[in-house]
Amino acid sequence: MPRPLTTIEERAQLLANGEACAAGQSIDPLPVVRLFTPDAHATWLLAALDPADGDTAWGLIDLGIGMPALGTVKLSDLAAIVGPRQQPVLRDLHFRASRPLSAYAQVAQLDGSIPD
């Protein structure tokens, strides 16, 4: 059975950040979860979850092609992805954000990838 993409606590924080955005608050949250493909060089630093559907996440997306960008992705789509060696998207169990999402985005755009 695959591991969940978020813990209960992470999901609650993602939803809280999403609710703040939906309420019109201008926030620059810390990323809550880092997801990655172990065999395809894609990474997602997610900071908020749309409270309307509970599936659309917002964050920094790096598909491994040198063009990381802020955007949205559905968790259900990520759960269905498998890489070239049939490995699923995984949650980085050791990730702890050290700066707001905008700072990660700035560094990623300069470097062409999300920093570890």
In a domain, 95, yes or no: yes
Has residue 116 been placed in a domain?
A: no
Distance between CA atoms of residues 38 and 113, nearest Å? 15
At residue 1, the pLDDT reads 47
CA dist 111 and 76 (Å) reads 29
> Is 91 domain-assigned?
yes
Q: Which helix (H) or strand (E) holds 79?
A: helix 75-80
The number of folded domains in the chain is 1
Q: What is the pTM of this model?
A: 0.92
> Given a cut of 60, is residue 7 above it in pLDDT?
yes
pLDDT of residue 115: 78
